[in-house]
Amino acid sequence: MRTKNYFLIIPVLALLSFGCGRPEEGSTRAVIQNKGSDTLVNVAQAWAEAYQTVNPNVAVAVTGGGSGTGIAALMNGTVDIANSSREMKESEKVDLVAAGHAPKQHIVGYDALAIFLHPSNPINEISLQQLKAIYGDGGTIEKWSQLGVTVPGCDSDEIVRVSRQNNSGTYAYFREAVLEESDFKLGSRDMHGSKDVVDLVMHTACAIGYSGLAYASDEVKMPCVVSEADSPCVAPTIDSALDGSYPIARPLFMYTAGEPEGAVAEYLNWILSNDGQCIILGMGYSPATTPTCSAPAM
């Protein structure tokens, strides 16, 4: 029965070949694996592309998937840099140390968390307390009339809460900064990406949503946000996120396992350099430093 053996080999080989698709690291070219936050993925991509001209010997491979994914990959040792739109949790730090990679945190920029409303919504300012009563578990605001407005096109008066899936960095930051670590009210529409939040709010008169400022479009309205009762209302802009006056702006992180070395260290230094910071500014985020950009970037 020799034939039997031969023909068993073919499907087995076919199956094995699926596992061999990963590109091998070139001998002369260093590859930096970079994965994580969807908020940061566009910036990370722009950095990776621009770095090609700075140092052609280093290729940076960028993947999204979410802050948690990046940190998990760092733990498994499959990436060199994890992008995160939230600070690493204590439990994750403990896990990383246990896996032998004490994490090192690098702040690469800031992002204002904008509140989105339908353009026909008359609300121009909103307070953190109101947001907590809208989104938080046990919060009492369910109707637009409770905020003193009637929204044209929203006959039911119901506030349609648009949120994110429960393990996104944006979700975690909103819970920390607005809900003060308490739970979200059940029944929000949990979108799978910042872009979907903007899309839904744009088409839904009753809706309210939140996401990074860089995802804002002309077809949604962004109210200014009041943190305390008598404090001024601050609009979400690149400047207000940078100077700290906007109450819900978050740092954007890159994590490495241990102190970065070699090509990774050079790459991170370049990101924090004038050139690198002008790129993040050009993408609609606030830089971590105050770079002097010759032309308005991009």
29 C-beta neighbours (distance < 10 Å), count: 11
Instruction: Enumerate the H helices of 99-243 as residue ranges.
Output: 128-135, 169-177, 194-203, 238-242
Q: Taking Cα atoms as reference points, which of 33, 37, 32 lies closest to residue 214?
A: 37
Nearer to other proteins, 100 or 232 (CB): 100
**Closer of 207 and 249 to other proteins (Cβ):** 207
Are 86 and 185 a contacting pair, CB within 8 Å? no
The identity of residue 151, as a single letter, is V
Run of H or E residues at 83: strand 81-84
Shortest reach from residue 69's CB to other proteins, in Å = 5
Would you say 6 or 24 has its CB closer to other proteins?
Answer: 6
Q: How far is the CB of 29 from other proteins (least distance, A)?
A: 29
Closer residue to other proteins in complex, CB, 99/265: 99
Closest approach of other proteins to the CB of residue 213, in Å: 22
- Structure tokens of 90? 């204590």
What does the alpha-carbon distance between residue 210 and residue 194 come to, in Å, rounded to a whole number? 8
Residues lying near other proteins in the complex (CB under 8 A)? 3-4, 6-8, 10-11, 65-69, 72, 75, 92, 95, 154-156, 158, 160, 165-168, 172, 175, 181-184, 186-192, 196, 199-200, 203-207
Q: How far is the CB of 155 from other proteins (least distance, A)?
A: 6
Nearer to other proteins, 196 or 243 (CB): 196
In which element (H, E) is residue 51 found? Answer: helix 41-54
Residue 9 Cβ vs other proteins, minimum distance, rounded to whole Å: 10
For the chain, how are helix, strand and coil distributed in percent, rounded to 5? 35, 25, 40
